[in-house]
Each structure stands twice: as structure tokens, then as C-alpha cells.
């Protein structure tokens, strides 16, 4: 019996992050949502999403399946209920199905305790809690590797270091939360890291970096400067000085040297951010930086306003504070010309080449589809 994480129309609330991926591939804590379910269930998980994205994922088996809404955060009690489902039984709440066995047309159990990831800013808002939960999954099964004597570790029982890491003359402080360091990570001298913190395989922390929790850095990333309460998906860079706070950065993004964002108004008042589904602005709290979709880059010394949201494949540059909202394939800032699709694909592929990757035919089709159907 296969487990399938399915998307609903609500996935559009998570734009720009879900233009290019299913909800199951959103990263929060140490793992993506899909990886989190796989670790808890101890089996492979399939993905069912919008038609234009489905070629990025293996075909869903045409057998007796259990379907789970990908936006739902897993818990032990929910997993018990899902495992107990029989054909034509389902679990639901006031917003719709949570999980069902084969079909949701049958006996239904109503619950009211699940959390659904509905908006991109919830990723950094919930990251502290989720990172702590997922850290426990890893420490149950593995033993941390020793690092160089020059590294100063505070509260070592809450620090996990995987194989192949190079860490020297750094400070890892897990007093306020756990620190997870994936395989083959390099943390250069003079770096200060406070938990909760996670960094994925093959990533690099450059000299003198300062990181505050709760922060997640995905695999194959390079970071520098100062970062706080942010989530960076895989293969992205913030390699130089500048501040990133209360933000979410997609994959294959690059923040130019000196790029900084504001995460707090001068008035310390409530911050609004654009809601793609309602085409309005939502209040998101008094701490919010920027949400950036995949394949977007900022020029050196870019100044990003509080509560900003940028689409995919943007080449971002401009004087003074940047606009708070930039559409997909933006060249410069609003009012400037858009990327041409062939040039966008060329530049994305150039960035992927820098890390030994290239655009697949399926990825090219997805990006072209977004260009034709989600361009403002």
C-alpha cells in the first residue's frame, strides 16, 4: 500500500514557493514535508500535485493507496489514526479531508487538532517548533561525529554533526535549541551559530558568519554575514555580508554582496504581505522579512523592504528600497521589462552549472508553463 501526499487548490496560498514544487517539497525544520513523512512512516512517499508539476515526480501507483493532504503537519496521534484507516474511511476537519484510504467518499472521522501550512510566512514562524521535533528523529538513530578541538561547543548533547564535516575555530551554542549539521558541511573559522539551527549536506558557512535561531539552511547552500529566523531551501547562496531575517528563500537563489532585508517596521507595527489567493494583503505579525521564489537573484547592496514577496526567476536590482512585491520573471523592478523565456532558461541553467547541475527537460517545461500562465 502506497502513501500519497496530495495537493489541493489551497496550495496557491503558498506561492511563490509552490509555483515550482508540490507542497510536499516545501522545507521546514531539517527536512522537506515529504522527507518528514517518509522518516516517520519508514517508507517511500509519492506526490500528487497539479498537472504541470506532476512530471517532476514518480507516477502514483494505481493500487490501494492512503492519501494525505501535504499541507498537514504530521503528529504521532495523526499517524496512528492514518494507519488505522480502512478502505473508504477518511479523517477530516472543518477545512476538508486530512487523509483517506482509496477514496474520501465513505465513513468519516472528524478531528480538530491538525495544523495546516497555508502561507509562506508560516514556514519561518513555525520553524523553531518543527526543527526541535525533527532533531529528535535524528538523534534517536545516529551518533554525532567528533569535530576539531578548536571548535567550542556549548550544550553538546543538543548538537548533532554528521560525517565528513570540516569545522574549526567556530562556536556552536545549543543552549537555546538544538543544532543539526548534515554531511560534508564546512563551517569556516570565526563563525558563531546559535540554535535552533539546521544545515543540510554539502553546505558551506563562510568565515565570520553569525547565525541566530531558528534558522534552516538546505543542502548545497553557501551562507555568510548575519542570518536570523530564516529558512533557505537547497542550492541557494547568501555568501556575503548583509542581513537576512524572518525570511524564506527558495532554491537556486543568490543574494548579492551587501543585500539586506528589513524585518521590523520603524514603528514596530503590524506588517502586511501579499496573499496570492485572495489578491489582497494579510497581516502577518510584527516580524517579517522577504519571501523569494526559486531562481531569483538580487544585485549587490540590494535593500529589501519589510514584508516583501518576490516571484520566481527575477533578476532584481534597483536604487533605494526595492518594491515590496515583484512578479515572476521580473527584470529590475516594477515598470521594467520582463525576462525573455529563453534568456531566463539560459541564466537559470548557468546558475545550476555552477553547482554541477543542469536544467532537466521536465524543469524547462515547468518554467515555460509558469511563464505562459502565471506572468503578470
Cell of 306: 519589510
Instruction: Give start-end residues of each CATH 2.160.10.10 domain in the chain.
Output: 121-373
Please report where in the chains the cell 495546516 appears, as a residue.
Answer: 116
The pairs formed by 307-310 with CB atoms below 8 angstroms and a separation of 24 or more are 307/271, 307/272, 307/273, 308/261, 308/273, 309/16, 309/120, 309/273, 309/274, 310/16
163-194 residue pLDDT tens: 999 999 999 999 999 999 999 999 999 999 99
Q: Is the dihedral of CA 312, 212, 136, 199 positive or negative?
A: positive
Cell of 200: 543540510
Q: Name the pLDDT band for 104 (thresholds 50, 70, 90).
A: low
Cβ atoms of 302 and 256 within 8 Å: the answer is: yes
User: Which helix (H) or strand (E) segment is 154 a member of?
Assistant: strand 152-154
Q: Name the pLDDT band for 311 (thresholds 50, 70, 90).
A: very high
20-34, 200-214, 337-351: lowest mean pLDDT where? 337-351
CA distance 265 to 253: 25
Does the pLDDT at position 1 exceed 90?
A: no
Residue 241: Cβ-neighbour burial (10 angstroms; 0-12, 13-18, 19+): middle
Question: Whole-number mean pLDDT of the chain?
Answer: 93
The full length of the chain comes to 376
18-52 residue pLDDT tens: 999 999 999 999 999 999 999 999 999 999 999 99
3-class DSSP assignment, residue 89: strand
CATH topology of domain 121-373: UDP N-Acetylglucosamine Acyltransferase; domain 1 (2.160.10)
Amino acid at each position: 500500500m502506497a502513501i500519497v501526499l496530495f495537493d489541493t487548490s489551497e496550495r496557491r496560498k503558498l506561492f511563490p514557493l509552490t509555483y515550482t514544487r508540490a507542497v510536499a517539497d516545501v522545507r521546514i525544520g531539517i527536512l522537506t514535508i515529504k522527507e518528514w513523512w517518509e522518516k516517520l512512516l519508514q517508507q517511500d512517499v509519492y506526490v500528487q500535485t497539479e498537472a504541470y508539476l506532476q512530471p517532476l515526480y514518480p507516477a502514483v501507483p494505481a493500487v490501494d493507496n492512503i492519501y494525505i493532504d501535504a499541507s498537514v503537519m504530521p503528529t504521532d496521534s495523526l499517524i496512528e489514526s492514518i494507519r488505522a484507516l480502512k478502505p473508504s474511511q477518511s479523517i477530516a476537519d472543518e477545512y476538508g479531508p486530512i487523509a483517506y484510504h482509496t477514496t474520501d467518499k465513505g465513513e468519516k472521522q472528524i478531528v480538530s487538532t491538525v495544523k495546516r501550512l497555508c502561507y509562506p510566512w508560516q514556514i519561518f514562524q513555525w520553524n523553531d517548533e518543527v526543527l526541535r521535533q525533527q532533531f529528535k528523529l535524528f538523534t534517536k538513530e545516529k551518533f554525532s561525529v567528533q569535530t576539531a578541538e578548536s571548535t567550542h561547543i556549548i550544550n553538546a548533547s543538543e548538537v548533532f554533526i554528521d560525517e565528513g564535516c570540516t569545522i574549526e575555530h567556530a562556536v556552536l551554542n545549543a543552549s537555546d535549541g538544538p543544532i543539526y549539521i548534515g554531511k560534508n558541511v564546512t563551517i569556516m573559522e570565526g563563525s558563531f551559530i546559535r540554535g535552533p539551527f539546521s544545515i543540510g549536506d554539502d553546505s558551506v558557512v563562510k568565515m565570520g558568519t553569525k547565525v541566530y535561531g531558528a534558522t534552516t539552511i538546505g543542502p548545497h547552500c553557501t551562507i555568510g554575514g548575519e542570518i536570523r529566523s530564516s529558512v533557505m531551501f537547497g542550492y541557494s547562496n547568501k555568501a556575503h555580508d548583509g542581513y537576512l531575517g524572518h525570511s524564506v528563500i527558495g532554491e537556486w537563489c543568490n543574494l548579492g554582496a551587501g543585500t539586506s532585508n528589513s524585518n521590523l517596521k520603524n514603528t514596530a507595527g503590524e506588517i502586511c504581505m501579499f496573499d496570492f489567493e485572495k489578491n489582497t494583503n494579510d497581516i502577518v505579525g510584527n516580524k517579517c522579512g522577504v519571501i523569494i521564489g526559486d531562481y531569483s537573484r538580487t544585485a549587490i547592496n540590494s535593500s529589501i523592504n519589510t514584508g516583501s514577496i518576490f516571484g520566481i526567476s527575477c533578476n532584481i536590482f534597483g536604487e533605494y528600497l526595492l518594491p515590496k512585491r515583484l512578479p515572476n520573471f521580473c527584470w529590475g523592478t516594477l515598470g521594467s521589462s520582463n525576462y525573455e523565456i529563453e534568456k531566463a532558461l539560459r541564466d537559470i541553467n548557468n546558475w545550476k552549472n555552477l553547482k554541477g547541475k543542469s536544467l532537466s527537460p521536465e524543469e524547462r517545461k515547468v518554467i515555460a508553463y509558469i511563464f505562459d500562465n502565471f506572468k503578470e
